[in-house]
Amino acid sequence: MRFDVISLFPEIFAPFLTSGVTRRAYESGLVEVKLWNPRDFADGTYRRVDDRPFGGGPGMVMLAEPLTLCLEKLRADRQACGAPDAPTVLFSPVGQVLDHAGVERWSAGPVGAVLICGRYEGLDQRFIDRQVDCQISLGDFVLSGGELAAMALLDAVARLQPGVLNDQGSHQMDSFNPALDGLLDCPHYTRPEHWRGQPVPAVLMSGNHAQIERWRRDQRLLLTRQNRPELLSAARVAGRLSKSDEAFLAAQASKSVPVR
């Protein structure tokens, strides 16, 4: 699949695409990333890509024309290379918050996307209305630009591609994954067995795989209830909690009731 990234700072992506385990996806071509700078399509000596907003106010707004010319060029390039048309995505606070299900949809799709990384106060709304197919948010906070959001999506998509992670089933044990019923993952431990007076939980050293899996399930339930109770509620509504799960949660709840 191919992702085209429109950014005023494409150099930011260089170390990202050549570092870490996900570089395998980019080096092998499983995920192709092509970078485009709208400044290359701007007029004038200074190749201006922004201007002050009509109506006044702070900040600058990215111009529609350089973005459109850049988008037209990359679409022509995709066509010439035999790449299928792809949706145009803008990272924006008004977009739908990206979650695991969304990442899986992007990962499974063969076409990729055109990712637009906004800057300053945003983009001319006329460009958004005419050219953008969907908007994505990482959460209720504001970044200096869409580059970090684009990297987050690319990284999440890349690690789901076959052969990228050393353990093919590794990502299935990630938090939010359907294989974990959408719960948070459990704590993990490694050598040494004792570290600064803190031992590894004894059950993990027992060799009893059934007990280990039950402990891990219980920890996932506890962590999710404590930190993301809405995920636990969703799992319950979907019928993903077993009688053993509910019994464990009920027992833990009774322990936390204060004595009067």
Residue indicated by tokens 């969304």: 102
Return the percentage of the chain with pLDDT > 90, whole number.
87
Report the pLDDT value the prediction gives residue 180, as an integer from 0 to 100: 83
In terms of domains, do 55 and 136 share one?
yes
CATH of the domain at 89: 3.40.1280.10
CATH of the domain at 179: 1.10.1270.20
Q: Are 127 and 16 in contact (CB under 8 A)?
A: no
In terms of domains, do 131 and 45 share one?
yes
The range of the structural domain enclosing residue 197 comes to 174-255
Residue with more model confidence, 59 or 169: 59
In terms of domains, do 104 and 222 share one?
no
- The Cβ-side half-sphere exposure at 216, using a 13 Å CA radius, reads 15
Q: Are 246 and 218 in contact (CB under 8 A)?
A: no
In terms of domains, do 11 and 122 share one?
yes
Rounded Cα distance between 143 and 149, Å, is: 8
pLDDT digits (tens, 9 = 90+) for 69-124: 999 999 999 999 999 999 999 999 999 999 999 999 999 988 999 999 999 999 99
Residue 21 lies in a domain: yes
In terms of domains, do 94 and 221 share one?
no
pLDDT digits (tens, 9 = 90+) for 52-77: 999 999 999 999 999 999 999 999 99
Catalytic residue among 87, 174, 214, 225: 174
Mean pLDDT for the chain overall = 93
Residue 260 lies in a domain: no
Residue 168 lies in a domain: no
In terms of domains, do 135 and 235 share one?
no
229 is catalytic: no
Is residue 260 predicted with pLDDT exceeding 50? no
133 is catalytic: no
Residue 208 lies in a domain: yes
Quote helix, strand, coil % in the chain, to nearest 5: 45, 15, 40
In terms of domains, do 142 and 180 share one?
no
Catalytic residue among 159, 216, 217, 220: 159
CA distance to 129, 184, 222, 236, 242, per residue, from 229 (Å): 37, 10, 9, 11, 17
Domain count along the chain: 2
Catalytic residue among 23, 93, 155, 185: 93
Instruction: Give the closest residue to 221 by CA, choosing from 241, 203, 238.
Output: 241
Catalytic residue among 32, 121, 155, 185: 121
For the ranges 165-169, 180-184, 203-207, 250-254, the one whose mean pLDDT is highest: 203-207
174 is catalytic: yes
Rounded Cα distance between 230 and 44, Å, is: 52
Out of 127, 158, 189, a domain closes at 158
Q: What is the mean pLDDT of residues 183-194?
A: 94
Amino acid at residue number 234: A
218 is catalytic: no
In terms of domains, do 37 and 129 share one?
yes
Q: How confident is the model at residue 259 (pLDDT cuts 50, 70, 90)?
A: very low
In terms of domains, do 183 and 152 share one?
no
In terms of domains, do 146 and 186 share one?
no
